[in-house]
Amino acid sequence: MNLKLPFFLLFLLSTFATAQETISITGSKPYPATENFLFMCERYALTGEAYIQLAKTDKGGILKLTISTKNDSMKISGGVYVYLADGDVIACVDRNLNETTDGKTTTYYTFTPSEMSRLKKTNIQSIRFNVTGDLSKFGNLNGNYTAVNKKNYFSTTYGETIKTFDTAKQISVL
């Protein structure tokens, strides 16, 4: 009886330690991924939020970009620019890998191995993307938007809490 509790706790800890996020594009195997970062997107009036997740693949990496939409005709399309904290910019080409479910649209972009190694060394500062869709329906938000690596809209300079996500650290762990 006394040995059951320590083994149970050890089992629980090992389960949590091996639990990891994954990204799976339709028809592909799941890839290890970072947590789902919630970037602030101030100009996107519908929610003001964009979900960013990165995964490591055999051929580089994947960027998963998700936003909420009013209808299924809206999607993220066109090129995406990933701005890094050191001033570099990574341009991603639209490969038309997207899906829309439950009021959210998701688009996937790919990174080369050299781009993934750059992402391991410096944090993502912001991501610039385009939203397109049917303009005939009320409430559509076509346009260009920037998702910024900020945890909160408002903060003070004197606070000691960390205000951005450490994307480089999580990508290097993959």
Question: Which pLDDT value is given to residue 39?
Answer: 93
Domains and CATH numbers, the chain: 31-173 (2.60.40)
SS3 string, 8-49, reads HHHHHHHHHHHCCEEECCCCCCCEEECCCEEEECCCCCCCCE
Work out the average pLDDT over 21-41. Answer: 85
pLDDT tens by residue, 37-91: 999 988 887 788 899 999 999 899 999 999 988 888 889 999 999 999 999 999 9
Question: Which pLDDT value is given to residue 82?
Answer: 96
- How many CA atoms does the CB half-sphere of 109 hold within 13 Å? 23
User: Over 80: is that where the pLDDT of 169 sits?
Assistant: yes
What's the whole-model pTM score? 0.79
Structure tokens at 147: 């998702």
